[in-house]
Amino acid sequence: KAGVTQTPRYLIKTRGQQVTLSCSPISGHRSVSWYQQTPGQGLQFLFEYFSETQRNKGNFPGRFSGRQFSNSRSEMNVSTLELGDSALYLCASSLVGTGSGEQFFGPGTRLTVL
Amino acid sequence: DQQVKQNSPSLSVQEGRISILNCDYTNSMFDYFLWYKKYPAEGPTFLISISSIKDKNEDGRFTVFLNKSAKHLSLHIVPSQPGDSAVYFCAASASGYSTLTFGKGTMLLVSP
């Protein structure tokens, strides 16, 4: 079974631009979560989608948004990029998205904002 | 306010010895705890988990202990191997919620 895939793997943008990241979950997984990892901050939860609906949202500004398609693939968008948005963005999928299930992570997208 | 804390940013251990990684949490609603391992340029991979109804879970060289009264859990790796060198993240979740709250991670270095 293929794992979680994320595209692109690396991205360089400049301040003020916007970016869209893509995530394809493991086949059959309906929950997709997004996390931001920055040095010294660990993984911070951005949002979670389940059956095309945003079910939970972390404490991030409205510049961060996402969506999920009917095939469970998900995209996240960051508008008006700031230098502090430079980070590794990780997508994770799980079977039913309950609190007792492990999440499977993709390799991440490394975003650099210049 | 950090709900999951890993107070040791790094830990160095010799091959063959025990590695003990610690994690504290503050949210009483958390009832499921996981450990993830992360190598550079890769996403975190699941290692072991424990439900709040247990106080110990073992899987090969990895054992997780949970002390609910102290809101503390630890991961023991015995014996440690150089391939265990990675960043270890502690994570927690609450029933009915699918989000994971992570600690900042502990970098483990196992030297030969």
Look at residues B104, B75, B74, B84 and name the one whose alpha carbon lies nearest to residue B3: B104
Token pair, residue A72, equals: 């469970």
Residues of chain B contacting A106 with CB distance shorter than 8 Å: 43
pLDDT averaged over chain A? 91
pLDDT at B69 exceeding the cut of 60:
yes
Is there a contact between A105 and B45 if contact means CB atoms under 8 Å apart?
yes
pLDDT at B95 exceeding the cut of 90:
no
pLDDT at A108 exceeding the cut of 90:
yes
- Measure the CA–CA gap between B73 and B63, rounded to whole angstroms: 10
Binning pLDDT at 50, 70 and 90, where does residue A101 land? Answer: low
**H or E segment to which residue A77 belongs:** strand A74-78
Please tell me which residue, A40 or B37, carries the higher pLDDT value.
B37
- Measure the CA–CA gap between B39 and A107, rounded to whole angstroms: 10
Share of chain B above pLDDT 90, in %: 88
Share of chain A above pLDDT 70, in %: 94
Is there a contact between A107 and B41 if contact means CB atoms under 8 Å apart?
yes
Token pair, residue B5, equals: 């804390």
- Which chain A residue has the Cα nearest residue B35? A102
Residues of chain A contacting B45 with CB distance shorter than 8 Å: 105
Is there a contact between B101 and A45 if contact means CB atoms under 8 Å apart?
yes
Binning pLDDT at 50, 70 and 90, where does residue B81 land? Answer: very high
pLDDT of residue A1: 65
pLDDT of residue A41: 79
- Measure the CA–CA gap between A29 and A83, rounded to whole angstroms: 33
pLDDT of residue B99: 81
> Residue B105 is nearest to which of A4, A35, A42, comparing CB atoms?
A42
CB A4 within 8 Å of CB A105: yes
pLDDT at B111 exceeding the cut of 60:
yes
Is there a contact between B98 and A58 if contact means CB atoms under 8 Å apart?
no
CB B71 within 8 Å of CB B58: no
- Measure the CA–CA gap between B84 and B75, rounded to whole angstroms: 12
* CB proximity B94 to A under 8 Å: yes
Listed in sequence order, the residues at least 6 apart from B38 whose beta carbon sits closer than 8 Å to its beta carbon are: B44, B45, B86, B87, B88, B89, B105
Share of chain A above pLDDT 90, in %: 77
pLDDT of residue A86: 96
What residues of A are in the B interface, CB distance below 8 Å?
4, 31, 33, 35, 40-45, 48, 50, 55-56, 58, 90, 92, 94, 97-108
Burial of B7 (0-12, 13-18, 19+ CB in 10 A): exposed
- Measure the CA–CA gap between A95 and A30, rounded to whole angstroms: 6
pLDDT of residue A72: 93
Q: Which of residues 29-48 of B touch A (CB under 8 A)?
A: 31-32, 34, 36, 41-46
- Measure the CA–CA gap between B57 and B66, rounded to whole angstroms: 9
In one-letter notation, the amino acid at residue A7 is T
Residues of chain A contacting B100 with CB distance shorter than 8 Å: 33, 43, 45, 92, 103
Most confident by average pLDDT, A32-46, B71-85, B95-109: B71-85
Binning pLDDT at 50, 70 and 90, where does residue B2 land? Answer: confident
pLDDT tens for A15-61 read 999 999 999 999 989 899 999 999 877 899 999 999 899 988 999 99
